[in-house]
Amino acid sequence: MSSKLPRYLDLEHTKLDWEAHRKATLKDRIDAVKHALIGEPEHIQAKIREIENNYHSKDEKAAIGAQGELEFLERMAFEEKQKIEVLEDNRDLPHPLDPDLNIKNPDYRVKDEIVEIKSRLSKSGKSAIRKALEEANEQIKGSGYATPTYTEEGYPQGKLNIQIIEKNGEKLKLSIEEISNVITRQCSPRQLRSLKEVFVYHENQLILQFKRDDRNRMVEVGLPKEKTHSAEQHLPKPEAQSEQATSQVNSQVLKQLIEYHNRVTDIYDKQRGELDPKLKETIDKINTQIQNMFQKEYPNVKLQSFKSLTVSKMALEVIKKNDMEGKKFEPVKTLKGMGFKQSDINRIIVNEKSQEMER
């Protein structure tokens, strides 16, 4: 290890001097972790170049991503005393639901487990946490790697580290409870099942840890049993249409629509300028499919035409909740319970009261 960094000589768990590491030069920090990196030499070199190129980038997302990855490597090498296998980047395997789309490869393997790193700023909101979960699940699921455990469908499972980093003194926008709510809700027994464990670090401190239980629920680790469902206890409880109302959603079709919607959204977010006609056609198609599923679930509800991925995403959230609970919840109250404003809801469901007032 560089003489400019603390020396960690013990063989037990070590608490890093993060202040010293952040003051050190990037070269010293990278040189210090090289001993812990294993895998193909070209993969290791590619990863080091990526961190070096992005760490001081003007692209905020790239810079935060590099910082989060380096801190993960330092934690594994010095605190956990683990070797980290650097996986091949740019494999770009075809998406299982759309051969024209590719999946980004996960980052590392530690003790035979695939580990994906997602870095977020402390100012990030719930949507950023959700996107980290969805992207990591897709990367692990589509990686094709052999892993110690698999989903019921035979897909690989792995772990996600979410690194939340402060910048310019900005504190956490979300409370720990809000972050927990997002993770336990998104990683339900029927969703994002390639994620077996989730770790959340804020400024190098582990603030949350989750693991799937024997019923495939993502629960907080290390908390008293009565608190493992804290997300459910603190979320608003939408009233069901009827105690006997049962969701009619086809879980497998829903799962495919969610994955397809996530991939199309990712491509849309990256496209600049005028929308590609083929992509527009794909967006219209996925919006129509989701609207049809929503209408089938709520045949007596008058819907607006789903014209954006944002609108169809909101509808998916309601359908996912119905499928997860096995009940059919009243859609407007459910969306309000999820934090959506009435103006947002009016983009999905025709507001009959507003129509009456206009008359």
What would the DSSP string read from start to end of 18-78? HHHHHHS-HHHHHHHHGGGEES-HHHHHHHHHHHHHHHT-SSHHHHHHHHHHHHHHHIIII
- Non-local CB neighbours of 14 within 8 Å, separated by 6+ positions: 8, 78, 79, 81
Is the predicted pLDDT of residue 175 greater than 50, yes or no?
yes
Residues 259-265 have a mean pLDDT of 85
Return the pLDDT at 90.
Answer: 67
Which residues have C-beta within 8 Å of that of residue 59, sequence separation ≥ 6? none
Please tell me the predicted confidence (pLDDT) of residue 22.
Answer: 86
- pLDDT at residue 241 in the model: 38
Q: Please tell me the predicted confidence (pLDDT) of residue 351.
A: 78
Q: Coil, strand or helix: which one is 218?
A: strand
Identify the band that residue 112 occupies on the pLDDT scale cut at 50, 70 and 90: very high
Predicted pLDDT of residue 38: 96
Q: Decide if 150 contacts 157 (C-beta within 8 A).
A: yes
Beta-strand relationship, 195-202 and 205-212: antiparallel
Tell me the whole-structure pTM to 2 decimals.
0.61
pLDDT grade, residue 225 (50/70/90)? very low
